[in-house]
Amino acid sequence: MKWFFDTSALIPTFLEDHEHHESSLRAFLKADRRSACCAAHSLAEVYATLTRLRHFQQMGPEIARRAKTP
C-alpha cells in the first residue's frame, strides 16, 4: 500500500477551491486498489461533509458511487 486516504486528503479532492485540491486530486487519480485504501468511516465522513456544502447538496448515491476509485 502506497497511500492511505483519510478525510484530510479526500475532501480536498472534491473541492476545486480548496488549497490542497490539486495535490490531493493527483494522488487520488494515481491510486488504484493495489496502491491505496481508505477506511469506510472516512467515506461516510466525506459524504456527510460534502453534502452539507451548498454546491454538493444535490449529491446523491450515483455521484458518490462514481467518485470511488476503479
pLDDT for 10 equals 93
* Nearby residues of 46 by Cβ (< 8 Å), 6 or more positions away: 7, 10, 11, 14
DSSP the chain: --EEE-HHHHHHHH-TTSTTHHHHHHHHHH--TTTEEE-HHHHHHHHHHHHHSGGGTT--HHHHHHTS--
pLDDT for 47 equals 85
pLDDT, tens digit only, all 70 positions of the chain: 788 999 999 999 988 889 999 999 999 999 998 999 999 999 899 888 888 876 665 556 666 666 654 4
pLDDT for 2 equals 86
pTM of the model: 0.70
